[in-house]
Amino acid sequence: MPRAGRSNDWGFPRWRPYGSSRETVAQRECDRHGCTEAGLCPAPKSPNSPDRWHFCQKHAAEYNKGWDYFEGLDKEQAAERKRTEQRDANAYAEAQHYGWAGSGDGTWTADELLALEVLELETDADFETIKKAYRIRAKAVHPDVKPGDEEAAKEFQKIQVAYEVLKNGEDRRSWKG
């Protein structure tokens, strides 16, 4: 005989939404006296200590406002820590170029950067400069100007595709903004 209050957790697919659970979730409160917000932001209790306070975002910002990361370190230790932190941060800065956004600042995609290379332009070029460079380069290798030249025809196609990529990106950006 089946139970009256059958669980929805049996079998596949799950019959209840993901993220909903009947178990209690332990949530730490903010360590600031009198605050009942969730303490989701850990902050060190003292320099170079593994012990942590857990604050809400508001109190974490207040706590970190005057924080001196190098307090308690002598000059050599502070310089070594700074050099290590900078080295690690530089690794992320170098890797951001390979992200989805392309140049890292969100203005160019990877395809648009390649198209700029084809047109021999820098990443700070505006669309008018792109148009000028496209026209100059296309006129130089156009099949009507150089009939029967296969290299010129291939170069013209490459320039044309590069311009299309940049034009579509410009249209997309102007449509969003």
- Distances in whole angstroms, Cα of residue 101 to Cα of each of 96, 108, 139: 8, 7, 32
Question: What is the arithmetic mean of pLDDT over 84-103?
Answer: 63
pLDDT for 170 beyond 70? yes
* Both structure tokens of 99: 């992200």
| Dist CA 56 CA 38 (whole Å) | 6
Average pLDDT, the chain: 79
Structure confidence by residue, pLDDT tens digits, 6-35: 555 555 555 666 666 666 566 788 988 888
The pTM is what?
Answer: 0.42
Residue 51: what pLDDT?
A: 86
Q: Which has the higher per-residue pLDDT, 1 or 25?
A: 25
